Structure 1
Amino acid sequence: METTAVIRGVHISAQKTRLVADLIRGKSVAQALNILTFSPKKAAGILKKAVESAIANAEHNDGADIDELKITTIFVDKAQSMKRFSARAKGRGNRIEKQTCHITVKVGA
């Protein structure tokens, strides 16, 4: 039985988030939370919340035993970019894209 947690529209690029997601794929939830707690990256805090949400969903909705859970699937999809303009010299402007992503975490026994 797999339980899912999805966080949509996170204000961080998918590329940066995938670096941290690759560290915890296939690990037990206790080991994954330990890795995320001590990682200095911004994405680690966001992924930790997603994993904790998936654990809570599994416990509440499915009555799963937390000690047996492991991260079966985790993936990060690119979401819509926010387009912004930055002022440049001589009245010009450059476009800046602020990246967002969707995070999906599935836990199961």
Structure 2
Amino acid sequence: MQVKSIYRNARISAFKAREVTREIQGLPATDALDLLRFVPKKAAELIFKTLSSAVANAENNNNLNVANLVVQEAVVGEGPTFKRFQPKARGSAGPIRKRTSHIRIVLTDEVEIKRREDKAAKKSKKPAAKKAGAKKKTTAAAKSAATETVAPETTATETKE
């Protein structure tokens, strides 16, 4: 089941907020909340509030388990722009655009939870498979080294006899 939470007219530009939402997409909701607590940006606080609202909606309205929730999508769209003017030299005026945005977060419990540690483990296994040819060379070198080490031992035992 999907659960949505929308924060409308947030006083931050969509460009700045998108930078933070890219980080939490696809993460489990609890991991995303932990991540947002330590991001030193204004957008992180606004997205944290929206995400915690979505988690509360899922828990209280739909009786879903918080541990199974995943951030399916975190989207930031542009809201209305407040137009102001700054006085400039010689009686002219320069425009100032105060941008706003709409933050939408969708949680779901239908997607399998994939943690970042699992992805890192999979990436570390892939290069090992590519180096299989290199391993064969090292094993051949190890065999030749093993035969070299065996030969001096036998000669040492022969001299002792």
Identity over the aligned pairs, expressed in percent? Answer: 36
- Alpha-carbon offset, residue 30 of structure 1: 1.1
Query: How many residues matched?
Result: 109
TM-score (norm 1): 0.98
Could you list the runs of 5+ residues in structure 2 that have no partner in the other structure?
110-161
* Equivalence for 1:31: 31
Which structure is larger by alpha-carbon Rg, 1 or 2?
A: 2
* Equivalence for 1:42: 42
1:1-56 deviations in Å (ceiling 9; x for gaps):
00000010000000000000000001001110111000000000000000000000
Structure 2 counterpart SS, 1:107: strand
TM-score (norm 2): 0.67
C-alpha distance in 2 between matches for 1:49 and 1:70: 16
| Aligned AA (2:103) | I
The structure showing larger relative contact order (alpha-carbon pairs under 8 Å, at least 6 residues apart) is 1
| Aligned AA (1:88) | K
Structure 2 counterpart SS, 1:59: helix
Bigger fraction of residues in strand: 1
Could you list the runs of 5+ residues in structure 1 that have no partner in the other structure?
none
1:52-94 deviations in Å (ceiling 9; x for gaps):
0000000111100001111011101001100000011111100
> What CA RMSD, in Å, does the superposition of the two structures yield over aligned residues?
0.5
| Aligned AA (1:17) | A
Matches within 5 A, 1:79-90: 79-90=79-90
